[in-house]
């Protein structure tokens, strides 16, 4: 049959695997051939500009059209080329570009075995140190760097998903001038003139606009250029910036400092609107690790107070959460400060509940002087940050839980101000040559600047944009140079603790992208210098004593440069007590702007993994809602799906309502980053754009918004059906077992109530104890902070398809692990829980019993195998799965066409095709890899080598909170056994007697005895 044959040859192919043979030969021949003639050959193959131009002629201009007339042929050519180029990066032993692989990397590559390289991913100037897995020189997976203090093996969702950006088929493919294809040489020729002119006038007309830069090399380059051309200016802008933090520091210390926390030593944490447990907050990966490490009820447990405006995953983890409008948080802070003995200029009046709460909190803080910390959110005004510094100082936390260092940011200038100046200069005709290095200011600049119009006006003679996509900004600049992805180019960056990492490429630029470094070399008139040269030169200067080569290799190998971590510096808080800003009108509706949890400021709009990543609280995908609280909704008679118009000083945006439990009353939250017009196939046109309402006067929250229903209806695609454990009929389901510390001490085994005795079955139980391995998993609900990392990690590891808005709306998303969020109690201030749900790998698996063709059966090691190639797709297994963890390919969800995706996929995991059921496999490909290694070893060495805890599943490995542990239940000392031995251990829906291999450690909160939640409810009710 046709489909049949197609099936044999087609869909079940794993492109990666397919590729192996050819790749192997390419690699091998690259490996063996020696220098020069090899170079020539690659030039012929792909290097030369002629080739590129010829190839790119196939792409019509203008992203919008070429999305349709997407030339496969052209792409395959590129791929052919870049594959070879990829090889080049990997293994030619060219002296000047040695890449030192990580631990497992063999001296020269073994085909079929992955290699691991240390590098760093940068967001908002802060580097996340990572290890990248490379299969046949194709980067296929991002992991955290276990040896780096800023990661300890964990990552955040953006780092995980950055891999997809590398292979994004919508990336800019070529240098363009006014939309026409040009070559890189053509560009350098074209700008040489203007640059030399500028040289004459000390660069008076030169403006460089970058995003936050923490790369010492790049900063150095720019500074050198500015030294040579004193009139030139360097502007920095980023919409999600830390202006308030820096201003606050100036206010307190007279200088900008980096504030770093050590949460592992903090017994009491008070967060004033700080979402420090979610990606995007500098250092969050480490903070999550430290925070989670103190959530073990059997050890010293910390206590978290969160006063927040827009509900966040951090708030959901709080032992005491207080929803307050953003503007009112300052008031609380002053009372808190007073309570902690900080002389406060004002003592504003608070509601009973607030006072009650703040008093308890401040008392708790004082009881834990030196072992507590107050953290303030980036979007709270400077004064508040200054106040927090004083409180921390007063509590004696400085040097214990709070540290001040040099700013990580190389140019901590005020972002909005900096952009203001630039726009003034442009309007004033002072700018002749504008270099925009990354970012997308046309889309995300403060509304009042009207950056787009400024750019459109021909005031600027020459506008050059370096960017990965042909986006809103690119079309307004004459020259667009495709920016190299961080896995394609050399650079360096600093982590939140100041430690510098070398960003080393794993693959040559797929589309000849260039890095900011290279652009600056053109500007500085030092062409030919590669990123590698620059970075190496810079560190050569920094390096003192010792053999540089070994230092360099070590730095690359470890993933960071030893001794670059900033030492804490002593700064003294000035006595001045910060004045509080005018209290906002209590009746006016407050409008909040927040970065989107998934697509940040909009830069990830075209990243399918992130677009489809359910946002931690709402579980929304592909859209940004207009978020309001339950009270407000009932007052305004608004319900889900209603589309409303939000108006602020005459500017309007339209968006669908989302009623979020725990959202403060009389306040609206808009999320930035959506409504892109030139993002690409995934991002364009999703959601609504909130930037037009956002001004530099009120970048985070403004008062006096208007909400008017439009009568339209819009369906938001949320992946979670129902968000409380209490069913509509009023009964409660024991899904997340939870209690507080006191109760726990009294009854440690409280979670086990549902458990069924083993003998409660008609059948003789299968005995796994004789097997060499019995795989199992335990998930600590106390540690899990709902950061979503596991979802993206799993998606990347297991080649999970992205299905898009419509399919997600139908409930057909494909994530193998999901993080359920449940609310309990008062809707205006509920308790929140996160529960990651992978396949439970039940020993009495209901799914297996009903499969007519035996496509899902048990392995001898207790794995619930899913054999895709046997599956005929009756979906019976999914119906019969009480945990609903099975995912079905209702349509052809996998992209078989786009060559980039073929390169990206994990060669060890079958690509599932249409009509096939799939689900979490406990990363069976990793299990088998480790088993085979162990067995070959045991044969070679003649002793019994077994797989131990070094085997990690993708979700476990990337988890910053260490909330997931996986291992061999037949190994008495395995970590998973230790966890399962704990009294908190329980299995989900135990009464069904499915005997899950995945169990949970029940959640235990640590409320302040003086601040019992129930009494709090009474008040909020009153």
Partner 1 sequence: MQIFPRSSNNIARASLVIVAVVVAALGWVLWELERTPYVTNAGVRKPQPVPFSHQHHVTGLGIDCRYCHTSVEVSSFAGIPPTKTCMNCHSQIWTNAAYLEPVRESFRSGKSIEWSRVNQVPNFVYFNHSIHINKGVGCNTCHGPVDKMPLMYQQESLQMEFCLNCHRAPEKYLRPREQVFNMRYEQPANNPLHRNLVSVNGHDYDDQIELGNALKDLYKVRSVKDITSCNTCHR
Partner 2 sequence: MATQTPIPVEVPKEDQRVPVIEPGHSFATIGEKVSNIVLRRPVSLGWVFGFLVMFSGMNMLLFALGYLFMKGTGIWGITIPIGWGFAIINFVWWIGIGHAGTLISAILALLRQSWRNSINRFAEAMTLFAVACAGVFPLVHTGRPWLAYWMFPYPNSMNYWPQFRSPLIWDVFAVSTYGTISLVFWFVGLIPDLATLRDRAENPIIQKVFGLLAMGWRGSARHWHRYETAYLLLAGLATPLVLSVHTVVSFDFAVSIVPGWHTTIFPPYFVAGAIYSGFAMVVCLAIPIRAVYGMEDFITARHLENSAKVMLATGLIVGYGYFIEAFMGWYSGNTFDSFLLWNRLHGPYAPWYMSLLISNIFIPQLFWLKYFRTSTFWLWILSLVILVGMWLERFIIIVVSLHRDFLNSSWGMYYPTKWDWMTYIGTIGMFLTFMWLFVRVLPMVSIAELRTLLPEAHVHEAEEVHK
Partner 3 sequence: MSGTTALENPVYGLMAEFDSPQELLDAAHKTHSAGYKDIDAFSPFPVEGLADAIGFHKNAVALVVLICGIIGGLSGFLLQVYVAVITYPVNVGGRPNFSWPSFIIVTFELTILFGGISAAVGMLALNGLPMPYHPVFNVPAFSKASDNKFFLLVSSADPKFDAARTREFLKGLAPRAISEVPS
- Contact call for residue 133 and partner 1 (CB under 8 A): no
Q: Count residues binding partner 2 (CB under 8 A).
A: 61
Among partner 2, partner 3, partner 1, none, what binds residue 21 when CB lies within 5 to 8 Å by partner kind? Answer: partner 1
Q: Count residues binding partner 3 (CB under 8 A).
A: 18
- Contact call for residue 689 and partner 3 (CB under 8 A): no
- Contact call for residue 971 and partner 1 (CB under 8 A): no
Length of the chain: 1022
Taking the least distance from each CB to partner 3, the nearer of 9 and 763 is 763
Torsion of CA 155, 160, 166, 167, to 10 degrees: 160
* Lookup result for tokens 């007309």: 205
Taking the least distance from each CB to partner 3, the nearer of 625 and 996 is 996
Phi, psi of 442 (to 5 degrees): -55, -35
**Secondary structure of 773-792 in HEC code, one letter for each residue:** CCEEEEEECCCCCCCCHHHH
Among partner 3, partner 1, partner 2, none, what binds residue 729 when CB lies within 5 to 8 Å by partner kind? Answer: partner 2
- Contact call for residue 525 and partner 3 (CB under 8 A): no
Contact code string over 819-848 relative to partner 2, x by CB under 8 A: -xxx------------x-x--------x--
Taking the least distance from each CB to partner 3, the nearer of 62 and 854 is 854
- Contact call for residue 764 and partner 2 (CB under 8 A): no
> How far apart, in Å, are the Cα atoms of 827 and each of 317, 464, 633, 662?
16, 51, 12, 6
Q: What is the CA radius of gyration of the chain?
A: 28
H/E run at residue 627: strand 626-628
Figure out which of the listed residues 557, 681, 858, 914 binds partner 2, where binding follows CB under 8 A: 914
CA-based end-to-end distance of the chain? 71
Among partner 2, partner 1, partner 3, none, what binds residue 359 when CB lies within 5 to 8 Å by partner kind? Answer: none
Among partner 3, partner 2, partner 1, none, what binds residue 25 when CB lies within 5 to 8 Å by partner kind? Answer: partner 1
Q: How far apart are CA 8 and CA 11, in angstroms?
A: 8
Q: Can you name the residues that pair with 269 across neighbouring β-strands?
A: 304, 373
Q: Which two tokens stand for residue 879?
A: 């119906």
Figure out which of the listed residues 811, 939, 978, 1010 binds partner 2, where binding follows CB under 8 A: 811
> How far apart, in Å, are the Cα atoms of 866 and each of 289, 472, 841?
33, 44, 11
Figure out which of the listed residues 70, 356, 750, 890 binds partner 2, where binding follows CB under 8 A: 890
Q: How far apart are CA 526 and CA 533, in angstroms?
A: 12
- Contact call for residue 857 and partner 3 (CB under 8 A): yes
Among partner 1, partner 3, partner 2, none, what binds residue 424 when CB lies within 5 to 8 Å by partner kind? Answer: none
Q: How far apart are CA 762 and CA 820, in angstroms?
A: 33
* Burial (CB count within 10 angstroms: exposed 0-12, middle 13-18, buried 19+), residue 194: middle
Q: Can you name the residues that pair with 922 across neighbouring β-strands?
A: none
Taking the least distance from each CB to partner 1, the nearer of 363 and 870 is 870
Among partner 3, partner 1, partner 2, none, what binds residue 932 when CB lies within 5 to 8 Å by partner kind? Answer: partner 1
- Contact call for residue 853 and partner 2 (CB under 8 A): yes
Beta strand segments in 253-302, E: 258-261, 268-272
- Contact call for residue 112 and partner 3 (CB under 8 A): no
- Contact call for residue 871 and partner 2 (CB under 8 A): yes
Q: How far apart are CA 998 and CA 976, in angstroms?
A: 10
Q: How far apart are CA 284 and CA 286, in angstroms?
A: 5
Q: Measured from the CB of residue 752, what is the shortest distance to partner 2 in angstroms?
A: 18
- Contact call for residue 919 and partner 3 (CB under 8 A): no
Q: Can you name the residues that pair with 655 across neighbouring β-strands?
A: 644
Q: How far apart are CA 802 and CA 806, in angstroms?
A: 11
Report yes or no: 163 and 141 within 8 Å, Cβ to Cβ: yes
Q: How far apart are CA 364 and CA 305, in angstroms?
A: 10
- Contact call for residue 858 and partner 2 (CB under 8 A): no
Among partner 1, partner 2, partner 3, none, what binds residue 433 when CB lies within 5 to 8 Å by partner kind? Answer: none
- Contact call for residue 921 and partner 1 (CB under 8 A): yes
Phi, psi of 230 (to 5 degrees): -55, -25
Figure out which of the listed residues 858, 914, 931, 1017 binds partner 3, where binding follows CB under 8 A: 858
Q: Measured from the CB of residue 772, what is the shortest distance to partner 1 in angstroms?
A: 7
Figure out which of the listed residues 29, 298, 806, 897 binds partner 1, where binding follows CB under 8 A: 29
Q: How far apart are CA 699 and CA 860, in angstroms?
A: 58
DSSP 844: T
Nearest to 683 by CA among 487, 510, 450, 471: 471
Choose the binding region for partner 2 from 35-43, 265-273, 601-609, 850-858 (rule: CB under 8 A): 850-858
Choose the binding region for partner 1 from 605-613, 708-716, 917-925, 947-955 (rule: CB under 8 A): 917-925
Contact code string over 83-122 relative to partner 1, x by CB under 8 A: -x-------------------------xxxx---------
Among partner 3, partner 1, partner 2, none, what binds residue 12 when CB lies within 5 to 8 Å by partner kind? Answer: partner 1
- Contact call for residue 948 and partner 1 (CB under 8 A): no
577-606 residues near partner 1, rule: CB under 8 A: none
Nearest to 999 by CA among 801, 754, 823: 754
Phi, psi of 147 (to 5 degrees): -90, -5
- Contact call for residue 667 and partner 3 (CB under 8 A): no
Nearest to 381 by CA among 316, 439, 334: 334
- Contact call for residue 910 and partner 1 (CB under 8 A): yes
Q: Measured from the CB of residue 688, what is the shortest distance to partner 1 in angstroms?
A: 42
Phi, psi of 742 (to 5 degrees): -55, -55
Figure out which of the listed residues 3, 35, 44, 745 binds partner 1, where binding follows CB under 8 A: 44
Ramachandran category for residue 201: left, alpha or beta (phi over 0 → left; psi -120 to 50 → alpha): alpha
Contact code string over 714-753 relative to partner 1, x by CB under 8 A: ----------------------------------------
- Contact call for residue 1019 and partner 2 (CB under 8 A): no
Figure out which of the listed residues 755, 876, 933, 949 binds partner 2, where binding follows CB under 8 A: 876
- Contact call for residue 772 and partner 3 (CB under 8 A): no
Nearest to 350 by CA among 369, 367, 370, 333: 333
> How far apart, in Å, are the Cα atoms of 477 and each of 176, 186, 395, 396, 868?
10, 16, 52, 52, 49
Phi, psi of 718 (to 5 degrees): -100, 140
Half-sphere exposure of 215 (CA within 13 A, CB side): 28
- Contact call for residue 754 and partner 2 (CB under 8 A): no
Strand 818-824 to strand 831-837: parallel, antiparallel, or no bridges (unpaired)?
antiparallel
- Contact call for residue 897 and partner 1 (CB under 8 A): no
Q: Measured from the CB of residue 845, what is the shortest distance to partner 1 in angstroms?
A: 13
Contact code string over 815-854 relative to partner 3, x by CB under 8 A: ---------------------------xxxxxxxx----x
Q: Which two tokens stand for residue 416?
A: 């909005």
Report yes or no: 754 and 734 within 8 Å, Cβ to Cβ: yes
Q: Count residues binding partner 1 (CB under 8 A).
A: 57
- Contact call for residue 995 and partner 3 (CB under 8 A): yes
Interface positions with partner 3 (CB under 8 A):
763-766, 842-849, 854, 857-860, 995
- Residues in contact with partner 2 by CB under 8 A are 1, 3-4, 7, 720-725, 727-729, 731-733, 735, 807, 810-812, 818, 820-822, 835, 837, 846, 849-854, 857, 870-876, 878-880, 882-884, 886-892, 914-917, 989, 992
Q: Which residues bind partner 1 (CB under 8 A)?
A: 8, 12-14, 17-18, 20-22, 24-26, 28-33, 37-38, 40-42, 44-45, 84, 110-113, 771-772, 857, 859-861, 863, 865, 867-870, 908-910, 921, 924-925, 927-928, 932, 935-936, 938-940, 944
């Amino acid at each position: 049959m046709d489909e049949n044959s197609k099936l044999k040859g087609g869909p079940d192919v794993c492109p990666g695997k397919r590729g192996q043979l050819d790749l192997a030969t390419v690699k091998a021949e690259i490996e063996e051939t020696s220098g020069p003639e090899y170079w020539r050959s690659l030039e012929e193959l792909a290097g030369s500009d002629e080739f590129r131009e010829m190839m790119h002629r196939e792409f019509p201009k203008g992203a919008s059209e070429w999305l349709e007339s997407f030339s496969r042929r052209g792409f395959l050519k590129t791929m052919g080329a870049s594959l070879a180029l990829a090889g080049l990066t990997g293994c030619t032993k060219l002296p000047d570009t040695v890449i030192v692989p990580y631990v497992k990397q063999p001296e020269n590559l073994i085909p079929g075995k992955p290699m691991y390289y240390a590098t760093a991913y940068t967001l908002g100037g802060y580097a996340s140190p990572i290890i990248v897995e490379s299969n046949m020189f194709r980067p296929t997976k991002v992991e955290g760097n276990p040896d780096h203090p800023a990661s300890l093996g964990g990552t955040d969702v953006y780092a995980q998903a950055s891999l997809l950006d590398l292979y994004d088929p919508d990336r800019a493919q070529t240098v363009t001038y006014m939309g026409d294809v040009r070559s890189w040489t053509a560009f350098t020729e074209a700008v040489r003139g203007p640059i030399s002119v500028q040289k004459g006038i000390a660069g008076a007309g030169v403006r460089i606009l970058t995003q936050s830069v923490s790369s010492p090399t790049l900063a150095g380059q720019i500074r050198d250029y500015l030294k040579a051309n004193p009139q030139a200016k360097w502007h920095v802008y980023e919409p999600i910036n830390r202006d308030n933090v820096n201003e606050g520091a100036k206010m307190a210390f007279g200088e900008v400092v980096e504030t770093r926390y050590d949460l592992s030593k903090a017994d009491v944490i008070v967060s004033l609107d700080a979402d420090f447990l979610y990606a995007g907050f500098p250092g969050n990966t480490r903070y999550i690790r430290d925070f989670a490490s103190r959530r073990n009820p059997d050890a010293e447990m910390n206590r978290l107070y969160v006063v927040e405006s827009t509900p966040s995953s951090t708030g959901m983890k709080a032992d005491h959460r207080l929803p307050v409008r953003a503007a009112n948080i300052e008031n609380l802070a002053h009372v808190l400060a007073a309570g902690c003995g900080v002389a406060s200029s004002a003592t504003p009046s608070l509601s009973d509940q607030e006072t009650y709460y703040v008093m308890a909190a401040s008392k708790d803080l004082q009881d834990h002087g030196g072992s507590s910390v107050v953290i303030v959110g980036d979007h709270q005004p400077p004064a508040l940050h200054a106040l927090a510094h004083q409180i921390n100082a007063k509590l004696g936390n400085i040097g214990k839980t709070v540290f001040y260092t040099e700013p990580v940011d190389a140019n901590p200038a005020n972002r909005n101000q900096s952009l203001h100046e630039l726009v003034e200069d442009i309007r004033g005709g002072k700018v002749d040559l504008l270099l925009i290095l990354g970012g997308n200011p046309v889309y995300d600049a403060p509304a009042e600047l009207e950056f787009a119009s400024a750019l459109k006006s021909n005031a600027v003679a020459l506008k050059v944009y370096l960017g990965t996509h042909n986006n809103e900004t690119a079309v307004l600049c004459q020259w667009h140079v495709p920016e190299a992805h961080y896995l394609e180019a050399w650079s360096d960056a600093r982590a939140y603790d100041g430690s510098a990492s070398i960003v080393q490429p794993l693959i040559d630029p797929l589309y000849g992208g260039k890095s900011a470094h290279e652009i600056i070399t053109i500007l500085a008139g030092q062409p030919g210098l590669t990123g590698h040269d620059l970075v190496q030169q810079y560190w050569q200067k920094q390096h003192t004593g010792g053999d540089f080569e070994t230092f360099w290799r070590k730095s690359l190998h470890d993933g960071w440069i030893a001794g670059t971590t900033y030492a804490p510096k002593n700064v003294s808080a000035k006595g001045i007590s910060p004045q509080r800003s005018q209290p906002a009108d209590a009746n006016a509706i407050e409008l909040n702007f927040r970065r989107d949890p998934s697509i940040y400021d909009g830069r990830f709009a075209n990243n399918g993994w992130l677009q489809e990543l359910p946002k931690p609280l709402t579980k929304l995908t592909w859209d940004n809602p207009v978020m309001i609280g339950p009270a407000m909704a009932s007052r305004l008679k608004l319900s889900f799906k209603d589309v409303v118009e939000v108006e602020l000083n005459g500017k309007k945006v339209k968006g669908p309502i989302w009623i979020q439990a725990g959202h403060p009353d009389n306040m609206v939250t808009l999320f930035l980053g959506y409504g892109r017009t030139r993002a690409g196939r995934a991002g364009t046109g999703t959601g609504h754009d909130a930037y037009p309402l956002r001004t530099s006067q009120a970048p985070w929250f403004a008062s006096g918004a208007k909400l008017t229903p439009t009568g339209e209806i819009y369906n938001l695609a949320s992946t979670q059906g129902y968000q409380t454990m209490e069913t509509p009929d009023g009964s409660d389901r024991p899904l997340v077992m939870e209690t507080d510390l006191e109760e726990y001490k009294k009854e440690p085994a409280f979670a086990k109530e549902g458990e069924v005795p083993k003998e409660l079955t008609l059948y003789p139980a299968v005995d796994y104890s004789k097997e060499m391995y019995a795989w199992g998993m335990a998930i600590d609900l106390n540690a899990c902070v709902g950061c979503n990392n596991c979802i993206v990690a799993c998606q990347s590891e297991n080649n999970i398809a992205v299905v898009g808005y419509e399919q997600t709306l139908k409930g057909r998303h494909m994530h193998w692990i999901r993080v359920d969020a449940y609310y309990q109690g008062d809707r205006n201030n509920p308790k929140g829980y996160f529960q990651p749900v992978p396949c439970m790998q039940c020993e009495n698996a209901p799914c297996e019993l009903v499969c007519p063709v035996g496509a899902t059966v048990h392995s001898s090691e207790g794995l619930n195998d899913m054999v895709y190639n046997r599956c005929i797709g009756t979906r019976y297994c999914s119906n019969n799965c009480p945990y609903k963890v099975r995912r079905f390919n209702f349509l052809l969800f996998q992209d078989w066409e786009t060559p980039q995706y073929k390169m990206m996929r994990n060669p060890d995991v079958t690509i599932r095709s249409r009509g096939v059921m799939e689900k979490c496999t406990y990363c069976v490909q990793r299990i088998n890899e480790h088993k085979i290694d162990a067995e070959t070893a045991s044969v070679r060495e003649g002793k019994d080598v077994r797989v131990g805890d070094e085997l990690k599943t993708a979700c476990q490995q990337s988890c910053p909170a260490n909330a997931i542990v996986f291992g061999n239940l037949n190994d008495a000392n395995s970590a998973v056994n230790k966890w399962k031995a704990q009294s908190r251990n329980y299995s989900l829906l135990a009464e069904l007697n499915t005997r899950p291999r995945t169990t949970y450690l029940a959640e235990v909160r640590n409320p302040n005895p003086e601040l019992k939640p129930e009494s709090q409810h009474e008040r909020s009710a009153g």
